[in-house]
Structure 1
Amino acid sequence: MLARAKAWLADRRAPLVLALLAVLLLLPTLGTGAIMDDHAHRMSFHPTFERPGGPRGDWDLFRFLEDDPAALVYLRDRGMWPWWTVDGSKLAFLRPLASLWHALDYRAWPEVHWLMHAESVLLFAATAFFVGHLYRRLLGATAAAGLATLIFAVDDAHSMVITWIANRHAILSTFFGVLALLAHDRARRDGWKPGVYLAPLALLGAMFSGESGIGALAYLFAHALFLDHAPFRSRVAALVPHVGAVAMWFAAYKLGGYGAAGGAFYIDPLGQMGEFARAMATRLPILLAGQMAAPPADVGMVWPRGELGSLVVICLVVLLVVGGGIFAVLRRDRNAAFFAVGMTLSLVPACAVIPGDRLLLFSGIGGAGLVASMLAASRAHLGRLARVYVGGVAAFLVLLHVVLAPLLLPLRAWSTGSMLHGYTERAIASMPRGDVVSGKTLVVVSAPDSVIVNTVLASWINENAPLPSLLRVLSTVVRGTLEVERKDERTLSVTLSAGYFDEVTAAVFRDPDKAKFSVGDRVAVDGMVAEIVSLTEDGTLPEQIDFRFDRSLDDPSMVWVSWEKDRFVEFVVPEVGERRALPVVPYQVAIGG
């Protein structure tokens, strides 16, 4: 039976069959609907849509806020960006190819979400197919090549990036990146002349699909180090067109005003080099452990902000144990070195974002190749104890990547999409709407994340529903306690025991470690002033903030809501002097319903 399995994995049809297997496992995503940014993307194509500092055309969908102080003041005053958004904020990504694909979707069939999901699934299947051919070029027509393709195609870590329509740019970048690697390898090892031109063009396609395309350059560099046997000067010369392609993209990126600034969720590696280096020290081990074994990188999204050091230690231990087993059998294998270095370097730019499994697509090429090579390698040269150790690591990797992954992929793809879709729809359905909010100030005392209210607003725009004149999200909270007190006719004081900005998405708009608040600091927006009253015990985050409005909290022009369990509910404004505790809902409970 094992011999037949090896023969099948080595068959030339394996990449196609395994790509089709991925399609089959991902069919549950077709019914998961729109989530989060999907509503905002559709909003960008609405005839009445206007957002200062936003997209400049169909090709520019991922420009959320350019470096425009006037635009930031307007968005913060209106509440489209929260009151704590730091001055100098910018969030804009150059992804024209992915943007144009979304433009086709939202202009031609804006409500046919199953078709958009099908497009992403088929794109991933095509990517897996070409990744399979890359393995066959590097590892030969072997069972190891087929096993690597299987591991990549059924990796449950890919579930989120495929399920989330707005994340299609990452799949498209990987698709073009794999084509660049294939063309470059054929050009260098087979003398295929078209590859000299096609590889840099494909790399340009990867970069202009999404900045994660830089991961392809990591593998091209690793290829020159370990797989290209030409003289050193020839190898360097072969990389020059690729460096030129990245330089072209970088010039367009900078001239177009793209990049990220102000927040900690996204970090500009070149514009914020110090912050990026510090973030990489914690994020890279989390991403590597999530790629190779456990825990999933998604844990980095929910791990308590002040305790990331313990998660990093866990990840380093896992990497030491698993890496030791792999190194024991593959330390002289140049293909393994290519996979390991390409995987690791491709994750360096991914450290610009808070860790998550959705960042592991490019690294999965090297990760799957490395695991498959280890499982297929001979252990005859090892001593008895070493064989036991390596055998234990191998069994663990088989359990994770071969047994559990294909079972978890459809489950995670469906459950993640369904839960986030349900979370989004419950938020939309439970929020007051129509004449109740039209032209008024909508105040959200608490929410589970910093973007869900904007998602509701986007859905209203898509449905041509009446809009509030101002939007005020006072706090986002998922742990600790939440207390409110009405200090006077116009002032509501909100106290979070875990501190403001402890919730991870709040860092999209402000880096709490860099742009710190002090007691007495004030932030003024149209109709409201937020004043810092106290800080948490460690002095790092605001704990109590007074929100003073320009009118009575009972004024009929103000509509109040807060989050309870799995939806928004009416918030009854306290009497003057009244203090009240509100429920704090962990994010997993909020999205799970």
Structure 2
Amino acid sequence: MTSARDREHRRGSKKESRAMAAEPLGLPGAREDGGERPSLAASPEPRSARVSRALVRFGVVGVLLLTTLLYLPSLRGGYMADDWFHLVALSQLKEIFTDELNLFTLVNSGDQVVAFKHFGLMPWWTSEEMRIAFYRPIPSILYWAEHRLFGPSPAVAHLIGIGWYVFSVYLVSRVLARFFPERSAMHVLAVLIFALDDAHALNIAWIANRNETIGGSLVLLSLLAWLRYREGRGRYHAPLVALAYVGALLSKESALVLPVFVVAHALVFPAREGEPLPAQPAPPGAPPASSTMPSLWSRLRPHLGLILTLGAISVAFIGLYFGFGHGANSVYYINPLRNPELWAEHFFRSGFYHAVILATGVPLHVLSSTPVHDYPLAALALGAVTLGFWLLAYRWLRSDRPLRFFLLTMLAGQAIVTTSFPDPRNLFLPSIGFAYVVTRVVEEALRRAHAAVPGAPRSAPEARQIRGVRAVLGTMVALHLVLAPVLCQVCVYVVNSFEGRYQTLKESLQAEVDYARLPPDGMQVFFLNWHQREMTAVYGLYLREVLPTGVDDYTPWTENPRLSYVDKLYQGLGAERIHYYSLSFVHGDVEATVIGDRTIELQPKQGHFFPTLFEQLYTTDDAFQVGQTFDTGRFKATIVETGEDGTVKRVRFTFPEPLTSPRYRFLVYDGTRFVRAQLAAPAHASR
């Protein structure tokens, strides 16, 4: 099939007005091996970018193989963070899964928060209004089946995660094929840019976050069914759009953007290739050609039934989702219904971070919680690259109709992900459109370079233009084909290194606690600081799995149908003879001052308490006040001093037993391991 762009080039200027009046959809009909760009593309594709159909297929297969190889190092990684909660739910507290076929509800009531704080599974500063209660039954069922078939095997889990990602890359190739000319090398490049995008790395390396890839794959299946329906491939594709959409919603909440994708496509591409546009009456005195330009309503009307169906599914899902108590609420996971002011405050902030992540691959916010303030030069440079890229894309591609479609999908994705913290994990769907935009910029740069006559004399402006084009090509290659896969490996390495950090924690405790002789009335371990904030989430569940708890059989509580979930927590966890509590997540030195035989005060030597999103995960943006007290049932924490900006500077901890009690262990990280903190008056440094 000849591409729409090539046909337009052959028509010439005599038929330009007719082509503008009957602009095609940009779809390749029934072809599966390539797509077609709309007629408004700036110019014909360079011949060097046209390859055989078999070579395009070989290129896509090559990308899938490269993607697999890129992430094979993650097989060496283990479990981290939420993975341990899923393991406990599948092996001990099975009703977490069986009640709703869902593993993604960590806490959905104030009673659960109180219980988790009592046993150290959440820190003392956790707000009782904090919620993490997502509803994702499809990935949950898949995790359960995997656990039943293979047991707790992180290597198998990582391999399955790689498989899901490779499958999603294949679906992206099928979607993008409809927006590039048939037999286009640019199609392969777009798929490669998506596959190498480091924003996806944590979705593959972190087992518990596989739901992002599963949900994204189902969104792609729904979108692909819609595109085939628009191509006239059969009416059965219309119900497939709705069915896949339901599956996507039951995998990840961000799938709510799918109806926006459908509406955007219907608006931007109002007719299928070779069909006339929906006509509307021309205004009196208007040129005849304007009678073929459709209104927004006439573009949506042919698909109104399907669009309304998707809308009804969305409304029903949102109503049932929140009606049954699902959803999150914290500074980390912002709920726009519970905290609209905080959501609005973070909308543009996270939008800036997400734009930088897509354009440069650099997750700027991981440098600090306030990177623009702390690293102004880096933020300025990355922001300038991001702004420059989009200005260039607008200048070169403003007539590119698929760009308008993908821009709408990216904006829709941004509106969803700002309900959470700025994070590359949530950019799976927006990165599809971004891969298209990057590829089109590269293609346009190649076209401009191809247009230059080798050896011909050039004026100074022409020479500058050629240098600029080469700079664009070099930057795109460096960022998306060199830096991106390197950052993917960095992410995999960091996740794999959690095994070593967990091992440090485990070995330190084994050296400081005699697990063979735990006191009959129990022991409590208190951490004054931490060596890695990222591993603070549910670290207590990890310790329960790898170190003795004093309980060999939990079934009398976990399988007792007369006990509620909270009662099982109190009786099952209460029977354990050791529990762990973080007095801070401070990453560095803390000053510990003994106030009395049962009281100490902690103060970071640099900075303050709760400086990062890892601490704020447990808060709901309520300001801390001097004199405010948190009672966990095992100790009390009282805010003693705050800064002018409201940051917490000093906290007093009061314990029911003397600090010298044999049931207590106070540990501090000394730079290499956790060691016993020497608590004695007068005030002294803990390290």
The two structures have a TM-score, normalised by structure 1, of 0.89
Does structure 1 conserve the Cα–Cα contact (< 8 Å) formed by 2:88 and 2:541? no
Match of 2:367 among 302, 327, 337: 302
Which residues in structure 2 correspond to 1:206-225 (within 5 Å)? Answer: 206-225=248-267
1:446 and 2:529 equivalent? Answer: yes
Does structure 2 conserve the Cα–Cα contact (< 8 Å) formed by 1:523 and 1:530? yes
Letter in structure 1 aligned against 2:162? V
- C-alpha spacing 1:8/1:326, structure 2 compared with 1 (3 Å): farther
Letter in structure 2 aligned against 1:250? I
Instruction: Give the Cα–Cα distance (whole angstroms) in 1 for the partners of residues 262 and 335 of structure 2.
Output: 23
Query: Which residue number in structure 1 is paired with residue 60 of structure 2?
Result: 15
Query: Which residue number in structure 1 is paired with residue 421 of structure 2?
Result: 354
1:545 and 2:651 equivalent? Answer: yes
Which residues in structure 2 correspond to 1:61-210 (within 5 Å)? Answer: 61-66=103-108, 68-141=109-182, 142-190=184-232, 192-210=234-252
Helix, strand or coil at the partner of 2:654: strand
Unpaired segments ≥5 residues, structure 2: 1-45, 272-277, 279-297, 453-460, 551-575
Which residues in structure 2 correspond to 1:403-442 (within 5 Å)? Answer: 403-409=482-488, 411-432=489-510, 434-435=515-516, 439-442=522-525
- C-alpha spacing 1:421/1:62, structure 2 compared with 1 (3 Å): same
1:293 and 2:360 equivalent? Answer: yes
User: CA offsets per residue over residues 232-262 of structure 1, 9 Å max, x none?
Assistant: 323554422222222232133112211112x
Unpaired segments ≥5 residues, structure 1: 583-593
Does structure 2 conserve the Cα–Cα contact (< 8 Å) formed by 1:561 and 1:571? yes
Query: Which residue number in structure 1 is paired with residue 675 of structure 2?
Result: 569
Letter in structure 2 aligned against 1:402? L
Runs of 4+ in 1 over 6 A off after TM superposition: 2-5, 380-383
Displacement of 1:63 after TM fit?
A: 0.3
User: CA offsets per residue over residues 487-515 of structure 1, 9 Å max, x none?
Assistant: 1101110012411111321111014xx31
Letter in structure 1 aligned against 2:368? W
- C-alpha spacing 1:238/1:566, structure 2 compared with 1 (3 Å): farther
Query: Which residue number in structure 2 is paired with residue 372 of structure 1?
Result: 439
Helix, strand or coil at the partner of 2:657: coil
The two structures have a TM-score, normalised by structure 2, of 0.77
Letter in structure 1 aligned against 2:419? A
Which residues in structure 2 correspond to 1:254-269 (within 5 Å)? Answer: 254-261=322-329, 263-269=330-336
Instruction: Give the Cα–Cα distance (whole angstroms) in 2 for the partners of residues 575 and 527 of structure 1.
Output: 21
Instruction: Give the Cα–Cα distance (whole angstroms) in 2 for the partners of residues 423 and 462 of structure 1.
Output: 14
Instruction: Give the Cα–Cα distance (whole angstroms) in 2 for the partners of residues 464 and 61 of structure 1.
Output: 25
User: RMSD of the alignment, in Å?
Assistant: 2.7
Letter in structure 2 aligned against 1:157? A
Does structure 2 conserve the Cα–Cα contact (< 8 Å) formed by 1:224 and 1:236? no
Helix, strand or coil at the partner of 1:431: helix
Instruction: Give the Cα–Cα distance (whole angstroms) in 1 for the partners of residues 261 and 465 of structure 2.
Output: 30
Helix, strand or coil at the partner of 1:458: helix
Displacement of 1:218 after TM fit?
A: 4.0
Instruction: Give the Cα–Cα distance (whole angstroms) in 2 for the partners of residues 391 and 106 of structure 1.
Output: 51
Letter in structure 2 aligned against 1:320? L
User: CA offsets per residue over residues 137-173 of structure 1, 9 Å max, x none?
Assistant: 2223222211101111122332211011111000001
Query: Which residue number in structure 1 is paired with residue 13 of structure 2?
Result: none
Query: Which residue number in structure 1 is paired with residue 477 of structure 2?
Result: 398
Does structure 2 conserve the Cα–Cα contact (< 8 Å) formed by 1:58 and 1:100? no
Does structure 1 conserve the Cα–Cα contact (< 8 Å) formed by 2:610 and 2:616? yes
User: CA offsets per residue over residues 429-456 of structure 1, 9 Å max, x none?
Assistant: 3234634656212211112327537324
Match of 2:339 among 249, 254, 272: 272
Largest Rg, 1 or 2 = 2
- C-alpha spacing 1:286/1:23, structure 2 compared with 1 (3 Å): same
Instruction: Give the Cα–Cα distance (whole angstroms) in 2 for the partners of residues 189 and 218 of structure 1.
Output: 19
Does structure 1 conserve the Cα–Cα contact (< 8 Å) formed by 2:527 and 2:667? yes
- C-alpha spacing 1:210/1:30, structure 2 compared with 1 (3 Å): same
Instruction: Give the Cα–Cα distance (whole angstroms) in 1 for the partners of residues 534 and 204 of structure 2.
Output: 23
> What number of residue pairs does the alignment pair up?
568
Instruction: Give the Cα–Cα distance (whole angstroms) in 1 for the partners of residues 516 and 421 of structure 2.
Output: 39
Instruction: Give the Cα–Cα distance (whole angstroms) in 1 for the partners of residues 518 and 416 of structure 2.
Output: 42
Letter in structure 1 aligned against 2:675? V
Does structure 2 conserve the Cα–Cα contact (< 8 Å) formed by 1:427 and 1:456? no
- C-alpha spacing 1:470/1:113, structure 2 compared with 1 (3 Å): closer
Displacement of 1:330 after TM fit?
A: 0.6
**518-527 or 54-63, which moves further after superposition?**
54-63
Displacement of 1:403 after TM fit?
A: 3.2
Instruction: Give the Cα–Cα distance (whole angstroms) in 2 for the partners of residues 301 and 334 of structure 1.
Output: 35
Letter in structure 2 aligned against 1:260? A
Letter in structure 1 aligned against 2:498? L
Instruction: Give the Cα–Cα distance (whole angstroms) in 2 for the partners of residues 546 and 392 of structure 1.
Output: 57
Instruction: Give the Cα–Cα distance (whole angstroms) in 1 for the partners of residues 596 and 624 of structure 2.
Output: 24
